[in-house]
Structure 1
Amino acid sequence: MWLNAGDRNTKYFHRKASQRKEHNSIRRLKDNGGGWHFEEHEIVHILNSHFQDIFSASTLENVEEKGAIWRVGNGSRIHIWEYRWLPYNTCGRVLSERLPNNSCSLVSNLIDHDTHLWDKEIFCSMFLPVEATEILSIPLSWSNMEDKLIWPLEKHNNFSVRSAYHFIHENCMRLLASASTCGISWYKIWCLSVSPKAVWLHSPLGFHPAVNSVDEFYDWLFDRLAKENLEILGWIVVVCWEICFCRNELVFSATHYLPMTLASHAYNFLVEFHSSNPKPNVISVSRIVKWKPPLGSHFKLNVDAARFSVSEWTLGIAIRNSIGQLMLSAAPRISAPPDPTLAEALALRWGLQLATHLGFQEIEVETDCLSLVNIWNDGSNASTLHLIMQDCKNLSHSFQHFQLGHTCRDGNRLAHYIVKDYHNPVSVICFDSFPNSVLSIVQDDVLGSDL
């Protein structure tokens, strides 16, 4: 009785069923030509050939050249047309044709090193408009930092053998994979609200009969995975599992099932599964986060960033004293890539620079970007973001007291409002005269604080 009800008593079933005690093994393997092999010596041969091809391929020798990219520092080591240095371009290289009379060869020739900005005057004649926009959106460091070859396939842009292996493997498989199977994520299937045993059947490790029509079925299945919602995908998985079950009943018990009976079983199974596994009712308790004034003689800097266009961001900056009085509000417009965390870092850099120019010595900084605070504390990033964060740390050393912390959106709503309200074509900086809408939020924050 227990084995028959094994699906309802999973622990007991796994413990008692002898076939579940077997070690995991590869029972079949597909070669590069699409043929299946079931013999052990054939499987071993395919595995050996596969790894020999990967580690003896010519791509291994220039994997650094193909996968790595240059992070722009002062630009003195990067050749404009020879190196990969465009971070948001597929190939990473400049595609604009080099004119015969062009004497610029290094990226440093494109930078105004006095202002630490790109020299826009020479861009129009050198690059296509799309590439010029992309280059202008690359933030430059305010310090004279060296260019660095980074590995963009890792989160912190540091090279790892693991990601290099995947890079080589994906390049090899990309030539073999058909358009119908590219980009299919099995994670999406495992997230379906159906029985795990039904999903396991259709995973890459499941049982697949060697029939001629299996490729056509997979083409159809992968197309559905890319287009249908999770509810429809759940129905597809359960129906396929029922088809396999009926096939086994026909082979081993000579029991025939009509298509309507199969569909009815699938429907009842899914309804019963959903009724036995209801989604938990999550009760969300909203916690009101208020702006808190800084301590003593400290000043508080709140920063935020919002995207204005494809390559432009508006930064929100607000500085208040310990009684909640607004000292400065700013909404500079900058060119930056489509990276929210990087834009938040640029807002932090702008805010610290303004606070330095105003002569503030003790400052507390708040942002609603938690990843920015984590990166500040971690400091192991090699990307362009690291350059900006290094500028921020250099600026922080000019204060007698500096503190960076995270707050929720409600605690940062003034900077957020400035970012949204000042969506103007030009940058706006106010020192003593502020819009009434801004002053209204300042007053609300003071009334809601502990002052």
Structure 2
Amino acid sequence: MEQIKKVQIGDPSCDDRFIWPLEKRCKYTVKSGYHWIRSMEAPIRHRRSSLLVSINKQVWKSIWKLEVHPKIIIFMWQILHRALATRLDLFKRHVAVSPICNEEEESVEHLFSLCPWVQHIWFGGQLNYKVIHKINYGHAAFMEANKMSNRVAVGSRTSPGNQANLIRDSQSISVWSPPEISWYKVNVDASWMSITKKGYVATVINNSNGKFIATKKQSILAEGVQEAEAKAILEGCKLANHLELGKVIIESDSKEVVSSLCNSIYQGRWEAVPVLWKAMQLKGSFQQCRWSWVPRSANMVAHRLASAKYSEMSNYTWIERPPSSIVHILNKDGLPCPH
């Protein structure tokens, strides 16, 4: 019965659509399909050769973190997986006529370590690498990955194009600010617990003078954080519509949900789409309505009210006089509150 209650019922006026539940934006991608197939093949992969199992995880991490061209990293991956078209492997697949190179089988270790032509490169180059002849393949692969990756990393530089992509987000500290004259700010937030799938949403409304208008806390069921944040916005719209407010700014500290409302509601989590669709429908009931993202520091009243700490306040609405538990937060934001 509890599971049935959690099922989200779509709006009949909203068209059904196909979704890919394994991708955040609901659309199928080759990457997500690849990972899904790999997960289905997990039992087979667990029976892989002892060669790959014996390779330390730190080796793989050091390879993937190299600041080199991606094709070099993929090439190292192919070496350790024995996925190169050496004469020995081609001979085993009945492609090459002979597996021999200079009187020896052309295996991976021969191709990169033991071949006389290759040894001139190791000894004559700046790498100053010493080849150990009598060593088994597992240890050779380990040493190749460890030493080669370190030297390539030291000798390479990050290209200007890659440096341009290293963007660091920084949020400046800010506080709540009143809206324009004749506008109302509707601050919303949500809290959600993954274990119980339950949470709370809160709405706090103030006018252009910073005067408290109304607040409401509501208990909810949701499948994820984005759905909970979407329900917070929907409840904010409902309360503002119930109070017959004309111009409203709906503020939330959820970038994903606000971005979906400003661009396309289908770009976020699929569970939140029916909720956001209802919010978009309510938008038409106002004279003007804007969606706005703010950092949590500018949304503290709604954030504090939505927490599970004040669970006894859920399913209540306060008009003109706020509950005593959030008066000190309103005062901290510089908002006038009745005493």
Using structure 1 for the length normalisation, give the TM-score.
0.48
One-letter identity of the residue aligned with 1:335: L
Name 1:388's counterpart in structure 2: 275
Stretch of structure 1 that moved more, 306-315 or 380-389:
380-389
Name 1:61's counterpart in structure 2: none
Superposition deviation, residue 303 in structure 1: 0.6
Contact 1:314–1:332, Cα closer than 8 Å, also in 2: yes
Which one of the candidate residues 310, 316, 319 is aligned to 1:428?
316
**Are the structure 2 counterparts of residues 194 and 375 from structure 1 closer, same or farther at C-alpha, using a change threshold of 3 Å?**
closer
Which one of the candidate residues 116, 126, 139 is aligned to 2:8?
139
Which one of the candidate residues 360, 370, 373 is aligned to 2:245?
360
Contact 1:306–1:313, Cα closer than 8 Å, also in 2: yes
The question of 1:345 aligning with 2:230 is answered: yes
Instruction: Find the aligned partners of 1:185 and 1:329 in 2 and give their Cα distance.
Output: 52
Give CA deviations for 1:206-228 in whole Å, capped at 9, x if unaligned: 35689xxxxxxxxxxxxxxxxxx
One-letter identity of the residue aligned with 2:278: D
Q: Secondary structure at the match of 1:332?
A: strand
Which one of the candidate residues 20, 23, 27 is aligned to 1:151?
20
Structure 1 unpaired stretches of 5+: 1-122, 124-131, 211-243, 255-261, 274-282
Contact 1:331–1:422, Cα closer than 8 Å, also in 2: no
Q: Secondary structure at the match of 2:274?
A: helix
Give CA deviations for 1:5-31 in whole Å, capped at 9, x if unaligned: xxxxxxxxxxxxxxxxxxxxxxxxxxx
Instruction: Find the aligned partners of 2:273 and 2:177 in 1 and give their Cα distance.
Output: 29
How many residues align structurally?
Answer: 261
Name 2:78's counterpart in structure 1: 205
Q: Secondary structure at the match of 2:46?
A: coil
* Structure 1 residue ranges (4+ consecutive) displaced by more than 6 angstroms after TM superposition: 179-182, 184-187, 193-197, 244-247, 283-286
Superposition deviation, residue 157 in structure 1: 1.7
Q: Which has the higher contact order (CA 8 A, sep 6+)?
A: 2
Instruction: Find the aligned partners of 2:59 and 2:131 in 1 and give their Cα distance.
Output: 28
Q: Secondary structure at the match of 1:348?
A: helix
Contact 1:298–1:363, Cα closer than 8 Å, also in 2: yes
Alignment of 1:15-414 (within 5 A): 123=1, 132-133=2-3, 135-141=4-10, 144-159=13-28, 162=30, 166=34, 169-170=37-38, 173-178=41-46, 188-190=61-63, 192=65, 200=73, 203-207=76-80, 248-251=130-133, 287-308=172-193, 310-337=196-223, 339-379=224-264, 381=266, 383-414=270-301
Contact 1:143–1:391, Cα closer than 8 Å, also in 2: no
Q: Secondary structure at the match of 2:292?
A: strand
**Are the structure 2 counterparts of residues 433 and 406 from structure 1 closer, same or farther at C-alpha, using a change threshold of 3 Å?**
same
Instruction: Find the aligned partners of 1:186 and 1:423 in 2 and give their Cα distance.
Output: 49
**Are the structure 2 counterparts of residues 141 and 328 from structure 1 closer, same or farther at C-alpha, using a change threshold of 3 Å?**
farther
**Are the structure 2 counterparts of residues 156 and 201 from structure 1 closer, same or farther at C-alpha, using a change threshold of 3 Å?**
closer
**Are the structure 2 counterparts of residues 327 and 204 from structure 1 closer, same or farther at C-alpha, using a change threshold of 3 Å?**
same
Contact 1:348–1:392, Cα closer than 8 Å, also in 2: yes
One-letter identity of the residue aligned with 1:322: S
Instruction: Find the aligned partners of 2:44 and 2:327 in 1 and give their Cα distance.
Output: 62
Identity %: 21
Instruction: Find the aligned partners of 1:310 and 1:185 in 2 and give their Cα distance.
Output: 37
Superposition deviation, residue 384 in structure 1: 2.8
Q: Secondary structure at the match of 2:133?
A: helix
Stretch of structure 1 that moved more, 374-383 or 165-174:
165-174
**Are the structure 2 counterparts of residues 347 and 189 from structure 1 closer, same or farther at C-alpha, using a change threshold of 3 Å?**
farther
Structure 2 unpaired stretches of 5+: 84-121, 136-142, 155-167
Superposition deviation, residue 380 in structure 1: 5.7
The question of 1:418 aligning with 2:305 is answered: yes
Instruction: Find the aligned partners of 2:311 and 2:265 in 1 and give their Cα distance.
Output: 34
Instruction: Find the aligned partners of 2:15 and 2:74 in 1 and give their Cα distance.
Output: 53
Superposition deviation, residue 427 in structure 1: 2.5
One-letter identity of the residue aligned with 1:178: H
